[in-house]
Amino acid sequence: MPADSHPALAPSSSPEINKLAAAQGEHRLLINGELTESSTGESFDNVSPATGEVLGTTSAATASDMQRAIAGARRAFDESSWSTDRDLRTRCLQQLQQALDAEVEDLRNELIAEAGAPHMMTRTAQLDWPLDDGLRFPMQMIKDFEWERTLPTSELRGVRSSRAVRKEPVGVVAAITPWNFPFEIVINKLGPALAAGNSVILKPASLTPWNATRLGRIVAEKTDIPPGVLQVLPTPDASVTEILSVDDRVDMVSFTGSTGVGRRIVEKSAGNLKRTFLELGGKSAMIVLDDAEFATALPHAAQACTHAGQGCALSTRLLVPRARYSEAVDFVTHVFQSLSIGDPADPRVYVGPVISARQRDSILGYIAQGVSEGGQVTTGGTSAPELPDHLSGGFFVSPTVIAGLDNSSTPAREEIFGPVMTVIAYDSEEDAIAIANDSPYGLAGSIFSASTERALAVAHRIRTGSISINGGLYYGADSPYGGYKTSGVGRQNGIEGFEQYLETKSIAWIAHQEGQLHD
């Protein structure tokens, strides 16, 4: 691994990607089956995080637009056959899958341009993985799910009753999605929500709107999804978004984003006790047990810089045995120095830009805070050096390692959302477990050990929703994902995620009136 003090820089090609994305970006809203401009003609800029240049504009939904979309979604759920016709839902989702497959390279270019997603990441969790199963798994659930089950006959107070339990869609679901993995999160919300029979109002992040508005255009032009079943309303106006939390016609809010915004959604929706699914922040620990081989385990620390560290599940606290602390710091420093940083359009780039100047400055502020608390930056700590001229206006942060801090420090406790890892020493296995659990968050984590059995025993004691052992991948539309503590409420994906978009109804009838319940 190179021992120089700066990450490797890769050549760039984003001007072409940006031009292509700008030419194809869908700027319209989808309301009641129609692609339309904002009611007031308002729009907002879509800015490339790699260059700082405006890619184009997107219509900004207003309060009037949102009210119209809610009314349409309510009508579509209450009056169309979408909620009851499983064959219709299957056919429409198959159409959507085929249309998305046909436009996969345009989606890829858009994600590179508007999200700054490195090309190599679009081959995994940013695009290819969720495109492969984000709709297909829920479609299979339509067929395989136990929509109704019978209970034993009851005899209470002399009444002999036949009984059944029935699953029905929740109703109108508001899906509010973030900017870091925009397509992945959108498709993993829409898939189960629509397959379960709900109508959905999608409010994508205003920093990355085009992947969602493209999907809206595809739904309008290439599927038989009834008007109003899916609405797509990007807006930078938080007051417009908050209508979804307070309006009685919306039955559920499905939100992925920061813990702070999650709390506000709960507060706003408390008045009508609206159901909420919240996938929130994280501060995951990567535990390297004392029997692990550093050469095998520590290269995985690079995953903290995936998508420039902008992932809620990324392990950004590295826990290593105190006796080998210096060795571990040196090793992970070299790992971070070897990571290529630059144009996200280049297939060789691992670390692209962060989403905005505001995010870059926040990350650098956390690093400075760590230094003020006694931490030592062993690599990084600055904006990316010596980038090509066309990237000079972009928002970059060098992969950064902070040593010399304990778990009470600010960088170890707060979600930085950047390519920053804090290396923390522990004294024993019990100490490592205690440090990992000493966090307000509980989303994910990883463990490395020469013994799978030992690692599993440790994993069972870590209070998080997901754990990777020795590099194992828990990702998939069939795998429930979510957190403990302030990392959220509920699960996305899997059977648990599908059931989240369903209500449960118990029915009883006099036993001699035999007959199967039907939709």
* pTM of the entire predicted model: 0.94
Strands 341-342 and 9-10: parallel
Nearest CA among 102, 179, 193 for reference residue 139: 193
Catalytic residue among 26, 279, 415, 499: 279
Supply the DSSP string of 259-292, one letter for each residue.
HHHHHHHHHHHGGGT-EEEEE----EEEEE-TTS
Residue 465 sits at φ, ψ, to 5 deg, of: -80, -25
pLDDT tens-digit map of 222-242: 999 999 999 999 999 999 999
All domains in the chain, ordered by first residue: 13-280+487-505 (3.40.605.10), 284-476 (3.40.309.10)
- What single letter denotes the amino acid at residue 327? E
250 three-state secondary structure: coil
- R_g of the chain computed on alpha carbons: 24
pLDDT tens-digit map of 140-187: 999 999 999 999 999 998 899 999 999 999 999 999 999 999 999 999
| pLDDT of res. 54 | 96
pLDDT tens-digit map of 352-409: 999 999 999 999 999 999 999 999 999 999 987 778 888 989 999 999 999 999 999 9
- Which two tokens mark 213? 């508005």
The structure tokens 């679009």 sit at 122
Neighbours of 259 (CB within 10 A): 20
Sequence-ordered list of residues with C-beta below 8 angstroms from that of 288, at least 6 positions apart, any chain:
294, 297, 298, 318, 319, 320, 321, 328, 448
Nearest CA among 171, 188, 413, 168 for reference residue 279: 188
Supply the DSSP string of 283-345, one letter for each residue.
-EEEEE-TTS-HHHHGGGGGGGGGGGG--TT-EEEEEEEGGGHHHHHHHHHHHHHTS-EE-TT
User: In the annotation, is 279 catalytic?
Assistant: yes
| pLDDT of res. 13 | 58
* Confidence at 8, pLDDT banded by 50, 70, 90: low
How much of the chain is helix, strand and coil, in % rounded to 5?
40, 20, 40
Q: How far is CA 209 from CA 6, 107, 236, 336, 446, in A?
A: 33, 12, 10, 31, 32
User: In the annotation, is 312 catalytic?
Assistant: yes
Catalytic residue among 92, 312, 429, 499: 312
